[in-house]
Amino acid sequence: MVRLLPEEVEHFRKMFELAAGSGQTTLQGRLAVSFFARSGLPQQTLKIVWATCDRGQKGFLTRSEFVLAARLVALAQVGLRPTLEQLLTYKQKFPIPKFELPDNIYTDDFDVSESERAIKHEYDTTTQKWRRTLVNVVIDRYAFAEGAMRAAYHMRDLSASGEKSQFVAKIAKVIGTPVAQYFDDVRMQTEAQKWAHEFNGKNVPKRVEFIAAYVMELIDRPSRPICGVELFVPGQYVKYNNNWDWSDDRRNTPQVTRPSDESMSLRVTCPDQAFSHFTWEASNHQLLICDIQ
C-alpha cells in the first residue's frame, strides 16, 4: 500500500475523480488509457505501470492501485524506472505526477463547463430525407437579438473549431410553437440553396448563397425544446424583398444583358430580385423564393 502525506490526500482524491468520474470507486481500463496518456510518457512505459498496478488483471484500478500507478508515473517523469523496487528505495520527497496537455498548444477559449448534448437534424435534398447526429454545444444564456417570434442566441458547436464553430440558435419566444414549423423552415432553406446553385450556374456576376441550416433538439433540457440553427455571419443585414408585396425600390429593376449567342451565359448585374424572378420562371411558376437579405 502506498502511503500519502496528509497534504497529498486531497490532491490524489481530485486526481482520481478527474480520471474516473465523480462518485466512482474504480477506474475502468478505457478511461485509464485516456487519462494516463496525458502524462506524456511512452506507451511501453505506461504498459509496465498498468501491469504492475492492475493486480489480478481485472481490467480496472481501485483507488489504492491508482495511487500506486500515479506514483510510478511520477518516477518515470523524472527519469527513474517505474518499478516497485525503485519506489521502495526512493528516499526523497515524491514528485507530484503531471497529467496535463503541453503548454501553449492552444490559445482559444474551449470552455465546456456549460456544454449540453443536442440532436442535430439535417435535410438532404438529394434523397429528400432527414438525417440526425448527436453533438455537444454551448449556448449563451442571453439572446443577442430578438424578432417577433424568436430570440437569437450565440452558439458554439464543440465538434468544430474557429469560425466554423460559431452558430446562431433561434429559439421560440412563445411556448407551444409547432415543431413541424422548424423542420419546414430548414427544408425550405435547403431547397432554396439548390435553386441558388442553379442560378449561379448561369455565370452571374454576383452569386446568391443560402446559409446552411438545421434543426436542433436540446435533449438535456426539460421537454427537449426545438430550435433552428444556422451559421453565424457577422455584419449588417440588408433586406431586399419580403414574403408579401415589398421589395427594395433601389434594386427593383435588374439590368439584364442578353447574349447574342444563346450558348453564352445570362448576364445579371442585380442578382437579388433577379434570383426571385428566376425561381418563378425556372420552376414553371410552381414556386418563388423571396424574403431575401
Q: DSSP labels for 178-228? A: -HHHHHHHHHHHHHHHHHHHHHHTT--SS------EEEEE-TTSTT--EEE
Torsion, Cα of 177, 191, 229, 275 (10° steps) = -100
% of the chain residues with pLDDT over 90: 44
User: Measured between alpha carbons, how far is residue 260 from residues 152, 236, 244, 266 in Å?
Assistant: 48, 38, 36, 10
How confident is the model over 201-255, as pLDDT tens digits? 998 888 888 888 999 999 999 989 999 999 998 888 788 888 888 887 765 544 4
Question: Considering only CA atoms, which of 156, 24, 192, 11 is closest in space to residue 96?
Answer: 11
What's the pLDDT score for residue 206?
A: 85
Can you name the residues that pair with 139 across neighbouring β-strands? 155
How confident is the model over 122-142, as pLDDT tens digits? 999 889 899 999 999 999 999
C-alpha triplet 72, 77, 78: angle, nearest 5°:
105
What's the pLDDT score for residue 148?
A: 80
How confident is the model over 11-42, as pLDDT tens digits? 888 889 888 888 889 999 888 888 898 888 89
Helix 43-53 and helix 29-36, axial crossing angle in degrees, nearest 10: 140
What's the pLDDT score for residue 106?
A: 62
User: Measured between alpha carbons, how far is residue 125 from residues 128, 129, 194 in Å?
Assistant: 5, 7, 8
* Parallel/antiparallel/unpaired status of strands 129-139 and 116-124: antiparallel
Q: How far apart are CA 268 and CA 256, in angstroms?
A: 5
What's the pLDDT score for residue 248?
A: 78
Asked if pLDDT for residue 193 goes beyond 70, the answer is yes
**Phi and psi (nearest 5°) for 192?**
-60, -35
Asked if pLDDT for residue 267 goes beyond 80, the answer is no
Across the chain, mean pLDDT equals: 85
All cell numbers assigned to 145: 437579438
**Phi and psi (nearest 5°) for 80?**
-100, 165
Q: How far apart are CA 263 and CA 100, in angstroms?
A: 63
What's the pLDDT score for residue 11?
A: 85
- This prediction has a pTM of 0.57
How confident is the model over 154-181, as pLDDT tens digits? 999 988 888 889 999 999 888 777 899 8
Distance spanning both ends of the chain, measured CA to CA: 69
- For residues 70 and 12, the answer to whether their CB atoms sit within 8 Å is yes
Q: For residue 91, how many other CB atoms are within 10 A of its CB? A: 4
Q: How far apart are CA 277 and CA 275, in angstroms?
A: 5
User: Measured between alpha carbons, how far is residue 182 from residues 56, 113, 121 in Å?
Assistant: 55, 28, 10
What's the pLDDT score for residue 40?
A: 86
What's the pLDDT score for residue 262?
A: 47
Asked if pLDDT for residue 271 goes beyond 70, the answer is no
How confident is the model over 68-125, as pLDDT tens digits? 999 999 999 999 999 999 988 888 888 888 887 665 556 666 677 789 999 999 999 8
What's the pLDDT score for residue 265?
A: 46
